[in-house]
Structure formats: C-alpha cells, structure tokens
Amino acid sequence: MSDSSASRVPAWLQPLLWPVIALTALLLFNLLFTEGFAHIEIRDGHFYGSLVDVLKQASRVMLVSLG
C-alpha cells in the first residue's frame, strides 16, 4: 500500500521542499522582527533595501552552485 501523504507532493518537488520551507521561515521571521526589512526604495533608477541586498548576494551563490 502506498502512503497517501507522499502522493500529495510531486516527485520533482520533494528534494526542494525543506529548503523552501526553511527559506520561507527565515524571510517571515525577518519581515516580522526586523524593522525596515521589507522597505525598498528607488534612487537614481536603482533599487535599494535589505531584500535587494539579499537577492544580490544570493544570485552569486546560485550561479556558482549551478556551475
């Protein structure tokens, strides 16, 4: 007999499930407890803010990990 909970999550998503949950939890924690974390402003046509910095730093790591 097959487990009904295993069939709810697609097979391609199972390896990504816990990292996505952890990332979501970290972002929610920072949104709730860090003042100004979600504040983004545009100066001279460029985006500035904590979320933008997180994405800039993460993009480098993602590119290296893909290689």
Does the residue 41 lie in any domain? Answer: yes
Does the residue 62 lie in any domain? Answer: yes
Global pTM?
0.58
Rounded Cα gap, residues 27 and 30, in angstroms: 5
The position carrying tokens 């790591």 is: 61
Expressed as residue numbers, the domain containing 40 is: 14-66
Q: Is the pLDDT of residue 67 over 80?
A: no
Listed residue (65, 66, 20, 29) closest to 50, CA to CA: 29
The H or E element spanning position 8 is none
What's the gap between Cα 24 and its chain centre? 6
Does the residue 5 lie in any domain? Answer: no
Instruction: Look at the chain and report how many structural domains it folds into.
Output: 1
- State pLDDT tens for residues 13-52: 788 888 889 989 998 999 999 898 889 999 999 999 988 8
Rounded Cα gap, residues 39 and 54, in angstroms: 13
Q: Is the pLDDT of residue 5 over 60?
A: no
Rounded Cα gap, residues 59 and 36, in angstroms: 22
